[in-house]
């Protein structure tokens, strides 16, 4: 029942901590160079819990080069732009029946991985759990949420569903399984298309996007374009996406979006898999997305890509 986790950011560390709590002995994969640079030969993972307590767990670390056993369960928690390369870096260690669970913002990377890894079962997740990295291997659980998981690409057989459910059932998380994961990914895409780029542009907290009429109108216009493209792709819309976007702004009012943080640290953002993905889909369908185009142009002018 061993899960290997690739990506030691906030989600990777948060999920690894849940596997540790459930006594499932996960293995966290790091880059070879990072692994070698560690001074401790008894590393631990720390988590600040929502109740204010901090727990430390001894953790097994490895790198794609040093991991020996065939991997049967792989959780991918890298940024969207790193996901394909991360899974390829470990390709020769994956068993044929490996369950690959992808937890990226945006869309496009999940489909590309599902297309390549046809003998394995590929699943995508969409989560509203909140976490941030305090330090290397030290995560802060910032808010309880829910996680939806469903197959992407080829439909897995019943046994694969059973195995996946069984391997996640003892985690202390609110997990839902669905055969409509694309709907959930599109919901999250609407939230990310509206919030992430704008928050990076204005260099502000998510809640501050509701602070002026101009910002609210931009949020609404971006969301309208996602709704339009989503409909044309054939994804059912349940509920009002703009209401969802505003709710996320309120729920995460004091947070900086991941894109805003990437921009501040001059890191490449996930925008190509968020607004970029939307623009690409719209183009294929002959739909105009001027608000998303304009936002990407403004961000590019600031050197945010
Ligand atoms: O990318 C993010 O930061 C998050 O997905 C969200 C929901 C926008 C909250 O900050």
Cα–Cα distance for residue pair 191/297, rounded to 1 Å? 19
What is the set of active-site residues?
188
Residue where one domain finishes, among candidates 157, 178, 199: 178
For residue 191, give the nearest of 289, 130, 257 by alpha carbon.
257
Q: Are residues 208 and 253 both part of a single domain?
A: yes
Residue range(s) defining the domain that contains residue 294: 183-301
Spatial neighbors of 52 by CB under 8 A, at least 6 apart, are: none
Give distance in angstroms: CA of 192 to centre of ligand 1. 6
Residue where one domain finishes, among candidates 149, 178, 207: 178
Instruction: Give the bridge partners for 44, in sequence order.
Output: 58
For residue 278, give the nearest of 207, 191, 155 by alpha carbon.
191
Q: Are residues 203 and 247 both part of a single domain?
A: yes
Cα 66 to Cα 35, 37, 284: the distances in Å are 10, 15, 42
Q: pLDDT tens digits for 10-62?
A: 999 999 999 999 999 999 999 999 999 998 889 999 999 999 999 999 999 99
> What integer pLDDT is reported at residue 72 of this predicted model?
97
Give distance in angstroms: CA of 114 to centre of ligand 1. 24
Residue nearest to atom 3 of ligand 1 (CA): 257
CATH of the domain at 224: 1.10.1040.10
Cα–Cα distance for residue pair 191/185, rounded to 1 Å? 10
Residue where one domain finishes, among candidates 151, 178, 205: 178
Residues having CB closer than 6 A to ligand 1 are 105, 191-192, 195-196, 206, 248, 252, 255, 257-258
DSSP class of 265: T
Q: Are residues 113 and 252 both part of a single domain?
A: no
Q: Are residues 135 and 189 both part of a single domain?
A: no
Spatial neighbors of 208 by CB under 8 A, at least 6 apart, are: 199, 202, 215, 253
Cα 17 to Cα 51, 142, 154: the distances in Å are 15, 14, 30
Q: pLDDT band for position 149 (50/70/90)?
A: very high
Chain mean pLDDT for the chain: 96
Residue 143's SS3 state is strand
Q: Are residues 231 and 95 both part of a single domain?
A: no
Triad 248, 251, 254: Cα angle to 5°: 110
**Tokens 């921009």 — which residue?**
263
Asked whether residue 68 carries a pLDDT value surpassing 90, the answer given is no
> What integer pLDDT is reported at residue 46 of this predicted model?
98
Q: pLDDT tens digits for 69-126?
A: 899 999 999 999 999 999 999 999 999 999 999 999 999 999 999 999 999 999 999 9
Cα–Cα distance for residue pair 103/124, rounded to 1 Å? 6
Q: Are residues 238 and 219 both part of a single domain?
A: yes
Q: Are residues 38 and 148 both part of a single domain?
A: yes
Which of ligand 1's atoms lies nearest the C-alpha of 192? 8
Give distance in angstroms: CA of 197 to centre of ligand 1. 10
Residue nearest to atom 4 of ligand 1 (CA): 257
Q: Are residues 188 and 169 both part of a single domain?
A: no
Give distance in angstroms: CA of 92 to centre of ligand 1. 33
Q: pLDDT tens digits for 186-243?
A: 999 999 999 999 999 999 999 999 999 999 999 999 999 999 999 999 999 888 999 9
Residue nearest to atom 1 of ligand 1 (CA): 258
Q: Are residues 199 and 162 both part of a single domain?
A: no
Give distance in angstroms: CA of 291 to centre of ligand 1. 20
Which of ligand 1's atoms lies nearest the C-alpha of 270? 1
Radius of gyration of the chain (CA): 19
Instruction: Tell me how many domains the chain contains.
Output: 2
Residue nearest to atom 5 of ligand 1 (CA): 192
> Which tokens is 219 given?
């949020």
Which of ligand 1's atoms lies nearest the C-alpha of 130? 9
DSSP class per residue in 222-245? HHHHHHHHHHHHTPPP-S-HHHHH
**Tokens 């105009």 — which residue?**
288
Checking DSSP bridges between strand 71-76 and strand 44-48, what pairing results, if any? unpaired
Ligand 1 binding pocket mutation candidate from 258, 271, 272 (most atoms within 8 A of CB): 258
Model confidence pTM above 0.85: yes
Cα–Cα distance for residue pair 112/81, rounded to 1 Å? 11
Q: Are residues 153 and 222 both part of a single domain?
A: no
Which of ligand 1's atoms lies nearest the C-alpha of 196? 8
Ligand 1 binding pocket mutation candidate from 143, 147, 206 (most atoms within 8 A of CB): 206
CATH of the domain at 150: 3.40.50.720
Q: Are residues 174 and 296 both part of a single domain?
A: no
Q: Are residues 174 and 281 both part of a single domain?
A: no
CB 102 within 8 A of CB 181: no
Ligand 1 binding pocket mutation candidate from 103, 226, 257 (most atoms within 8 A of CB): 257
Chain length of the chain: 305
């Amino acid at each position: 029942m061993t899960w290997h986790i690739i990506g030691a950011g906030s989600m990777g560390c948060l999920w690894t901590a849940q596997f540790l709590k459930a006594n499932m002995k996960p293995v966290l994969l790091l880059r070879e160079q990072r692994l070698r640079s560690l001074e401790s030969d008894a590393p631990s993972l720390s988590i600040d819990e929502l109740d204010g307590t901090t727990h430390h767990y001894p953790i097994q670390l490895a790198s794609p080069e040093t991991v020996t056993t065939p991997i049967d369960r792989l959780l991918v928690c890298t940024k969207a732009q790193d996901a394909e390369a991360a899974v390829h870096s470990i390709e020769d260690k994956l068993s044929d029946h490996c369950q690959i669970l992808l937890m990226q913002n945006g869309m496009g990377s999940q489909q590309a991985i599902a297309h390549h890894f046809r003998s394995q079962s590929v699943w995508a997740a969409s989560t509203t759990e909140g976490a941030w990295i305090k330090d290397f291997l030290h995560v802060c659980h910032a808010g309880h949420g829910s996680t939806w998981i469903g197959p992407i690409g080829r439909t897995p057989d019943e046994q694969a569903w059973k195995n996946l459910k069984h391997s996640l059932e003892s985690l202390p998380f609110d997990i839902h399984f669905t055969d409509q994961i694309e709907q959930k990914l599109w919901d999250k895409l609407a939230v990310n298309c509206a919030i992430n780029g704008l928050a990076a542009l204005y260099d502000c907290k998510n809640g501050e996007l509701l602070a002026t009429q101009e910002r609210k109108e931009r949020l609404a216009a971006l969301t309208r374009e996602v709704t339009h493209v989503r409909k044309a792709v054939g994804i059912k819309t349940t509920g009002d996406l703009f209401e969802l976007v505003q709710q996320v702004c309120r729920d995460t009012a004091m947070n900086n979006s991941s894109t805003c943080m990437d921009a501040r640290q001059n890191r490449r953002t996930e925008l190509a898999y968020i607004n970029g993905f939307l623009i690409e889909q719209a183009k294929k369908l002959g739909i105009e997305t001027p608000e998303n185009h304009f936002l990407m142009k403004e961000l590019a002018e600031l050197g945010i890509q």
